[in-house]
Amino acid sequence: MLIGAAAALLLLLTGRIAGVSGMFATVVRIADAGPPWRLAAAFVIGLPVGAIVASTLIRQPQIEVTSSVPVLIAAGLLVGFGTRLGNGCTSGHGVCGIGRLSFRSIAATLAFMAAAAATVFVTRHLMGA
């Protein structure tokens, strides 16, 4: 609910879509266009700060990392590449785009959710067999 509320507020107050990959691209200056740098930096910094505040006030999550660091780094780079290739991420397409009934965002969300489901199926059921 907080992600949706934050996305709605950003859209209402600034006219900008709350896509994390676009905000991050603006912060590291690899985006051609986007929000003002200060707005993007505040948004990106607010993500982990908000998680820390929430986990402090609510509860500490139980996190267990079962993959190796090189696999996690490769996965992160592939996700980053995919978000640039797809011109957006789950927050931009999934939360904001679907909320605006954007056909392009609906198609993108269906594509990356199908790819995620296929990846889980392959890694859990076919690679372990």
Q: Please tell me the predicted confidence (pLDDT) of residue 128.
A: 63
pLDDT tens for the chain, 129 residues: list them: 777 788 888 888 888 877 888 888 888 888 777 788 898 899 889 888 988 888 888 877 788 888 888 988 998 888 888 877 777 777 778 888 888 888 988 998 898 889 889 988 998 888 765
**Would you say the pTM of this structure is higher than 0.85?**
no
The string of DSSP letters for 57-105 reads: HT--------S-HHHHHHHHHHHHHHHHHTTS-IIIIIIIIHHTT-HHH
Residue pair 18/96 in contact (Cβ under 8 Å)? The answer is yes
* Neighbouring C-beta atoms of residue 31, cutoff 10 Å: 17
